[in-house]
Amino acid sequence: MTQPSNVPTTLYRLVMQYSPSGQESAAVEALLTRFRELGYTKWRRDAAGNAVGIMGQGPRQIVLLGHIDTVPGEIPVRVETLPDEGEVLFGRGSVDAKGPLAAFTDAVAALGPREGWQIIVIGAVDEERESTGARFIAQQAAYHPEFAIIGEPSSWQRITLGYKGSARATVRFARPLSHTASQETSAAEMACAWWQNLTAETATRNANRRRAFERLQPSLRGLTSGTDGFTEWAELHLGGRLPLDVPPQAWYDLLAQIQPTGQITPQGYAIPAYRGDKRTPLTRAFLGAIRAAGGKPGFVVKTGTADLNIVAPVWGCPAVAYGPGDSSLDHTPHEHLPLAEYRQAVAVLQGVLERLTQP
């Protein structure tokens, strides 16, 4: 597809590079090329595979961290005109989250260097799996931002203050094999009973939690079973979305208390919930910039999990998530981004950075 003249170049090039987690290399190269073309001071691919672009130099830092990977499922890249949305760009990652990352890149380029400041744009890898890119960034002493903005869709008028935590586990049940005509409970039946008891327990705990952000949210991602001729087994593959007052270990402890007793094995990296303060210089800059662009700003919290949860507690600075796009389109076959909204988000981000870096 030849780039349409009405599609911003950075956005187009990133979305054109299909980059599911683990296959980000071409998209990273495209972003590094764009940093060079737009006059960034420095650009590099780091040891984790992230694309890093730096505008300006000085002791003070602002980090804009977006993710360059997507979920699997390639969507033909195309421009269409939709009722109530105008011209939109279809493509995997247009919303989650190459749209926000491209907006970061273009806004920093439009602003240019600011005396005494490094403004750093990072295209992080692997966010849709284990967030190895963000975990690497959080460990690097070179990053000490005064403000951090994480690229996730929120619509151009909204600022995301926080995300729920997440934790995955397998729960295994095993017992000696018995004849199917016996009255003994099978391993698969034990697994089903355990899941029903977990959902009942979380429903009880959620009874007085009115908002989705405050609730425990278990999800059953898979069920497998089998036998070796002597022992039968069943495994539940479980996810959990966690509120602020339930850290991952408390979630695992709860799983261990549910009857019938199964073997609980955590999987991957657990991430605690995070919520930032809405009264900071960063949020004030966003409120002013959104109003200046003709918008009506609002704050939201999300029930998913993002790289904000990983880097914000480490950096300890004001941090929010922001970016153009409708997050209900994340991971769907209909993912698309209105081009007008993209341009509005770029204007807002430029206004935010101007406010934060003014003498």
Report the pLDDT averaged over residues 56-79.
Answer: 97
Distance between CA 124 and CA 113 in Å, rounded?
A: 22
Q: How confident is the prediction for the chain on average, in pLDDT?
A: 96
* Identity of residue 135: R
- Span of 159-163, 183-187, 302-306 with lowest mean pLDDT: 183-187
Whether pLDDT at 311 is above 70: yes
* Identity of residue 274: Y
Q: Is the pTM of this model over 0.85?
A: yes
Q: Provide the token pair at 281.
A: 């210089």
Q: Provide the token pair at 270.
A: 């657990």
Q: Which residues are catalytic?
A: 69, 127
pLDDT of residue 93: 98
Are residues 89 and 103 in contact, defined by beta-carbon separation less than 8 angstroms? no
Question: 4 vs 8, 126, 252, CA distance in Å?
Answer: 9, 29, 50
Would you say the C-alpha torsion 62, 19, 23, 321 has a positive or negative sign?
A: positive
pLDDT of residue 181: 58
Residue 347: pLDDT band by 50, 70, 90 thresholds? very high
Whether pLDDT at 229 is above 90: no
pLDDT of residue 180: 61
pLDDT of residue 2: 84
pLDDT in tens, 4-63: 888 999 999 999 999 999 999 999 999 999 999 999 999 999 999 999 999 999 999 999
Q: Per-domain residue ranges for the chain? A: 9-163+273-357, 165-271
pLDDT in tens, 246-262: 999 999 999 999 999 99
Q: Which residues pair with 65 in a beta bridge?
A: 122, 150
pLDDT in tens, 162-206: 999 999 999 999 998 876 656 788 999 999 999 999 999 999 999
Classified as helix, coil or strand, 206 is coil
Classified as helix, coil or strand, 108 is helix
pLDDT of residue 177: 80
Question: 351 vs 130, 249, 286, CA distance in Å?
Answer: 32, 41, 8
DSSP 70: B
Classified as helix, coil or strand, 110 is helix
Are residues 356 and 285 in contact, defined by beta-carbon separation less than 8 angstroms? yes
| Domain range 165-271, CATH class | alpha beta
* Identity of residue 296: K
* Identity of residue 311: V
Burial profile 328-346: b = 16 or more Cβ within 10 angstroms, e = fewer: ebbbeeebbbbbebbbbbb
Whether pLDDT at 112 is above 90: yes
Distance between CA 13 and CA 256 in Å, rounded?
A: 47
Residue 354: pLDDT band by 50, 70, 90 thresholds? very high
Whether pLDDT at 319 is above 90: yes
| Domain range 9-163+273-357, CATH class | alpha beta
